[in-house]
């Protein structure tokens, strides 16, 4: 009975935390661009979720922000990893600030990540703005 209860609780936690995951099956560069209707405003956020079959070993990413409105772009891009898709740990942050309508930056290569789940969050702050993001992820799988 105790095992059944634990199984039900575990199943419910997976269902409750279900997100739309993009599955990564091979070593390659993955590109994802938000549509205009997926833009993010100040103090808002947009998050992408990835499942890496057989887990990610090394990760590098580039993000380009395009400002759709406002005079200034300030945002953080935070990448997280998880072994269970429930408990997330931030392992890198990129910061953007500028007046250009398009701003890009590239992360350092993150080695020994060893995780099956990744998520990337775009968090604009400190300026009235609307932005959309384009991410390129380089995933080196096990």
* pTM passes above 0.85: no
* Strand spans (E) along the chain: 21-24, 28-33, 40-41, 46-70, 73-82, 89-98, 102-106, 115-124, 129-141
pLDDT at 128 over 90: no
Per the CB < 8 A criterion, the answer to whether 74 and 97 are in contact is yes
Q: What is the predicted pLDDT for the residue at 16?
A: 36
pLDDT in tens, 34-73: 766 678 888 888 898 988 888 888 888 888 988 888 888 8
| CA triple 128-75-82, angle to 5 deg | 135
Q: What is the predicted pLDDT for the residue at 84?
A: 94
- Of residues 64 and 29, the one with the higher pLDDT is 64
What's the CATH fold of domain 20-141?
Answer: Jelly Rolls (2.60.120)
Q: What is the predicted pLDDT for the residue at 36?
A: 64
């Amino acid at each position: 009975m105790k095992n059944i209860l634990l199984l039900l609780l575990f199943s419910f936690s997976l269902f409750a935390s279900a997100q739309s995951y993009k599955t990564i099956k091979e070593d390659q560069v993955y590109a994802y661009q938000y549509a205009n209707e997926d833009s993010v405003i100040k103090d808002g956020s947009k998050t992408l979720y990835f499942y890496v079959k057989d887990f990610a070993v090394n990760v590098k990413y580039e993000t380009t922000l395009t400002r759709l409105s406002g005079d200034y772009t300030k945002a953080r891009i935070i990448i997280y990893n998880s072994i269970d898709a429930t408990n997330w740990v931030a392992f890198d942050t990129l910061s953007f600030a500028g007046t250009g309508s398009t701003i890009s930056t590239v992360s350092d290569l993150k080695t020994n990540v060893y995780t099956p789940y990744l998520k990337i969050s775009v968090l604009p702050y400190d300026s009235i703005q609307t932005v959309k993001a384009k991410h390129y992820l380089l995933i080196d799988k096990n």
